[in-house]
Amino acid sequence: MIGSIGFVNEQLTSDPQELWVPPNSRANIEQTYFTEQFGAFFRIDTAWIVPYETAQADHDIFQKPYLNLLYYLQKSIEDGFAESNDLEFSVHDLCYKPISGQDCIVESPMQYFKMNITYLNEPTTDPKVVAQCIPPPDQTERTCFDRIGSPVLTYAVFGGLSCEPGTSGACAACKIDASGLQLTFLLNNNAYSNGVAEEWERQVFIRNIKSFNHAITGYNDAMDNEMDGIPYNDDLIAQIKAVYAENPDMIQVKMDYLAERSI
């Protein structure tokens, strides 16, 4: 009985920052100051595709078949709607738009191809060459800029990055090998939109990631707890299965994610 007195003032939290960042740490103090002076930082929702089998952890997946998987996932997230208070919202209502008159900034390897799957799958398109960011002589538009005119940040869209042999010298242009493909959405972070953003993360972002995994290996695909009652995206599942059917030599991959609302 005496030992339980401390539970009177018990406070529970599921906020990752409160769990892992000490209140008196310099990082927390500086972020608190920044938030008070300039407003809250973004809600960051990020996911990454990596090989499923540990023995294949270094396998290069910066290749067309895996980029097709990423395309279908990213498009499903960008086109998806969440319902909140009898209204529908998409990422376009919630995201950070750094350039006036343009859409969301999305960090993804598919931005090298401006989310154009036709261009990606053309026989003459070599992803390794495109990501070298060397424009051909007849090119009239900027190289390695995304759909909204923002530069593609190599180290924000790849994991396990290395250069193919013979392309890593001081005067060489790296041909990228990568064992991870990363997709990141930046959402506005404010009291007005956070409730809706949480529903979008649940009904769209996490739903599609779990559907992606359900189509391949069943890794972390359970629709339970706060995901209970949300169905898989059958259209995305069919698209993922079709990519594997067309490319039988592909290895199995999985998706992990980190959302502001982690489930």
Answer yes or no: do 188 and 216 share one domain: yes
User: The tokens of 106 are what?
Assistant: 């999305």
Domain count, the chain: 2
Amino acid making up residue 251: I
Q: Distance (Å, rounded) from C-alpha 216 to C-alpha 27?
A: 39
253 - beta bridge partners?
51
Q: Distance (Å, rounded) from C-alpha 108 to C-alpha 234?
A: 23
Answer yes or no: do 54 and 81 share one domain: yes
Domain containing 21 equals 11-39
Q: Is residue 6 included in any domain, yes or no?
A: no
Residue 82 φ then ψ, to 5°: -115, 145
Q: Is the pLDDT of residue 138 over 90?
A: no
- What predicted TM-score, i.e. pTM, was given to this entire model? 0.85
Closest CA to 184 of 62, 69, 46, 71: 46
Answer yes or no: do 97 and 17 share one domain: no
Answer yes or no: do 132 and 143 share one domain: yes
With beta carbons less than 8 A apart as the criterion, state whether 183 and 234 touch.
Answer: no
Work out the average pLDDT over 161-175: 88
Question: What is residue 96's predicted lDDT score, i.e. its pLDDT?
Answer: 92
Question: What is residue 169's predicted lDDT score, i.e. its pLDDT?
Answer: 78
Closest CA to 40 of 186, 200, 206, 198: 186
Give the residue, 178 or 17, on which the prediction is more confident: 178
Answer yes or no: do 20 and 125 share one domain: no
Work out the average pLDDT over 109-135: 96
Question: What is residue 8's predicted lDDT score, i.e. its pLDDT?
Answer: 52
Closest CA to 115 of 128, 105, 123: 105
Q: Is residue 5 included in any domain, yes or no?
A: no
Question: What is residue 166's predicted lDDT score, i.e. its pLDDT?
Answer: 87
Give the residue, 6 or 206, on which the prediction is more confident: 206
State the pairing for strand pair 82-84/158-159. unpaired
Q: Is the pLDDT of residue 240 over 60?
A: yes
Q: Distance (Å, rounded) from C-alpha 81 to C-alpha 84?
A: 10
Q: Is residue 1 included in any domain, yes or no?
A: no
Answer yes or no: do 123 and 199 share one domain: yes
46 - beta bridge partners?
184, 258
Q: What does the pLDDT look like over 83-100, one tens digit per residue?
A: 999 999 999 999 999 999
Q: Is residue 181 included in any domain, yes or no?
A: yes
Q: Distance (Å, rounded) from C-alpha 202 to C-alpha 105?
A: 20
Q: Distance (Å, rounded) from C-alpha 243 to C-alpha 232?
A: 18
Answer yes or no: do 180 and 87 share one domain: yes
Q: Is residue 4 included in any domain, yes or no?
A: no
Answer yes or no: do 100 and 139 share one domain: yes
Q: Distance (Å, rounded) from C-alpha 257 to C-alpha 70?
A: 14
Q: What does the pLDDT look like over 181-207, one tens digit per residue?
A: 999 999 998 888 999 999 999 999 999
Answer yes or no: do 220 and 93 share one domain: yes
Q: Is residue 69 included in any domain, yes or no?
A: yes
Q: What does the pLDDT look like over 27-85, one tens digit per residue?
A: 567 656 655 655 567 889 999 999 999 999 999 999 999 999 999 999 999 999 999 99
Answer yes or no: do 15 and 112 share one domain: no
Question: What is residue 259's predicted lDDT score, i.e. its pLDDT?
Answer: 85
Question: What is residue 77's predicted lDDT score, i.e. its pLDDT?
Answer: 98
Q: Is the pLDDT of residue 9 over 70?
A: no
Question: What is residue 16's predicted lDDT score, i.e. its pLDDT?
Answer: 52
Work out the average pLDDT over 8-20: 53
| 141-177: b (≥16 Cβ within 10 Å) or e | eeebebbbeeebebeebbebebeeeeeeeeeeebbbb
Answer yes or no: do 162 and 216 share one domain: yes
Q: Look-up: residue for tokens 């036709």?
A: 118
Answer yes or no: do 33 and 107 share one domain: no
Q: Distance (Å, rounded) from C-alpha 209 to C-alpha 73?
A: 7
